[in-house]
Amino acid sequence: MHTRTLGQGLEVSAIGLGGMGMSQGYGPNPGDRDEMIGVIRAAVDRGITFFDTAEVYGPYVNEELVGEALEPVRDQVVIATKFGWDIQGGKSVGLDSRPSQIRRVAEASLRRLRTDTIDLFYQHRVDPDVPIEDVAGAVGELVQEGKVRHFGLSEAAAATIRKAHAVFPVTAVQSEYSLWTRDPEAEVLPALAELGIGFVPFSPLGKGFFTGTVDTAAPFGAGDVRSGIPRFEAENRAANQALVDHVTQLAAARGATPGQIALAWLLAQHPWVVPIPGTRRLERLDENAGATGAALSADDVADLDGIVARLGVRGDRYNEVHMGYVGR
């Protein structure tokens, strides 16, 4: 596994592992807790050193899972978690990035993660009621105290990133980015390149769409987040299948899987881009890790760069409520 460097010199594996799906989001978990711990530890064995979680995943149970799994190898890995939600009765009911809340979340996350330091602490969504300068200052204090190593933002606008970075250096920005979600390209990625900040795409496989395994007609099961996303409505899935077909054809010609091609395209964008695909299966873990060896020519990358312009994408990536949380 190759390594890459995010902002502020934070070195991580070129492919990370997103933990959310092990606890929520994609219907009933096919394995038990011990199996998920096994998958996380298998990732370490394959050279993956970058693990992503959040207090709101579950809530709380995903941090506990990641903490238990990585405790024996804590000195070998980088753990990222997030703050920024008001969680009541086991559900997020809104945003809360007040400095006092940031500190409470940090202390609780440290306990759940079984560690003395959070390697990368993201604001999960920008809170319009709290100046980003106050957020950056609060995380900066936690860094000075040794409880956090690096500061990150998630789904933030370029202007917000600049304001935060002026107060305390931002190490990484995490946002949805993939072959069919190109929003960061216009303003966010140029700002990151200018400021020396790393970029961490979540849902790099389009929430499973670019694995080629999503049925274009069958309904999603109970508890599957995709059932409420416009882009995954049956009619839109059918229209978007042209994207997957194109990637599948290229994958066959390159001796790779569609998912590997989608990840390889992301890796080819910038040397400071580190995707974090999630999975609950060892075979998919191996496939994702193998994306670093997928050979894409300059012509392949250029072809994929223009895929959305040529084929189009039907449907928003979030419903109206969730779209209101991004790009602030």
pLDDT of residue 223: 85
Average pLDDT estimate for 178-198: 98
* pLDDT at 218 > cutoff 90: no
For the chain, state the CA radius of gyration: 19
CB 294 within 8 A of CB 304: no
Least confident of 77-81, 137-141, 155-159, 224-228: 224-228
Between CA 87 and CA 101 the distance in angstroms is 11
207 to 125, 203, 224, 252, 300: CA distances (angstroms) = 19, 5, 11, 21, 22
- Portion of the chain with pLDDT greater than 70, in percent: 99
Residue among 296, 275, 274, 193 at smallest CA distance from 4: 274
Domain 3-211+262-294 belongs to what architecture?
A: Alpha-Beta Barrel (3.20)
pLDDT of residue 31: 65
Catalytic residue among 26, 57, 177, 318: 57
- State pLDDT tens for residues 254-284: 999 999 999 999 999 999 999 999 999 999 9
Name the band, by pLDDT with cuts 50, 70 and 90, for residue 295: confident
Map out the domains of the chain as residue ranges: 3-211+262-294
- The predicted model scores a pTM of 0.97
Q: Scanning the structure block, which residue is given the tokens 């080629």?
A: 212
pLDDT of residue 32: 87
Phi and psi at 154, nearest 5°, equal -130, 130
pLDDT of residue 277: 98
- State pLDDT tens for residues 59-118: 999 999 999 999 999 999 999 999 999 999 999 999 999 999 999 999 999 999 999 999
Between CA 161 and CA 27 the distance in angstroms is 34
Average pLDDT, the chain: 96
- State pLDDT tens for residues 19-68: 999 998 787 665 689 999 999 999 999 999 999 999 999 999 999 999 99
Between CA 180 and CA 177 the distance in angstroms is 8
Least confident of 217-221, 259-263, 311-315: 217-221
Q: Annotated catalytic, 57?
A: yes
Per-position b or e across 10-47, b if 16+ CB within 10 A of its CB: bebbbbbbbbbbbbbebeeeeeeeeebbebbebbbebe
Residue among 201, 212, 209 at smallest CA distance from 236: 209
